[in-house]
Amino acid sequence: MAIRPILTAPDPRLKAVSTDVEAVDSAIRALVDDMADSMYAAEGIGLAAVQIGVARRVIVIDLDQKDGKKNPIAYINPKILWVSEEMATFEEGCLSVPEIWDDVERPARCKVEYLDRDGVKKVLEADGLLATCIQHEMDHLNGVLFIDHLSRLKRSMAIKKLTKAKKLEAAS
């Protein structure tokens, strides 16, 4: 298990479309463990493998981090089977888009099929924050960031801010 650096926008690697995992083997379980470690270290609630530079369709989410208890759930090769017509708006942030938060509207509920850490097929119907989080992380697998859902003006302001922060970081 290892904490791996998280890529930040505008990094072209975040635009990659991730590919399916063929088999949930020990290498994939090690990837899941590294993702969980990296997510907790960065104080996030969700992470896609592409955010640590591995363009495979693997997501880790843990919305129940309380009292230091950790319960990371891996979603491997997730597919959205259904989304509700009803929409919901949450203020989103992203470990790959530091210091920026904004409202994003998405379907309020979704049904997702995936393989768990043991390679067992599961189907989950999610609502609330989990539904938003799953859709946000699945966007990453297709090279989409939450700022891509904002208006063109807001997105370009966000990219400008991120680029400036990177320049400052490089200069320091």
How far is Cα 89 from Cα 102, in angstroms, rounded to an integer?
10
* Other CB atoms within 10 Å distance of the CB of residue 160: 11
Q: Is residue 100 a contact point for Ni ion (CB under 5 A)?
A: no
Smaller CB separation from Ni ion, 94 or 104: 94
Smaller CB separation from Ni ion, 77 or 96: 96
User: Which backbone phi and psi does 90 adopt, to 5 degrees?
Assistant: -125, 150
Residue 16: exposure state from Cβ atoms within 10 A (0-12, 13-18, ≥19):
middle
Count of residues engaged in binding Ni ion, rule: CB under 5 A: 1
How far is Cα 109 from Cα 75, in angstroms, rounded to an integer?
17
Residue nearest to Ni ion (CB): 94
Active site residue 169: no
Q: Which stretch binds Ni ion (CB under 5 A): 35-43, 76-84, 94-102, 155-163?
A: 94-102
Residue of 85, 92, 113, 137 marked active site: 137
Residue 169: exposure state from Cβ atoms within 10 A (0-12, 13-18, ≥19):
exposed
Smaller CB separation from Ni ion, 52 or 94: 94
User: Which of 35, 94, 115, 147 is close enough to bind Ni ion by CB under 5 A?
Assistant: 94
Interface residues with Ni ion (CB under 5 A) are: 94
Active site residues: 137
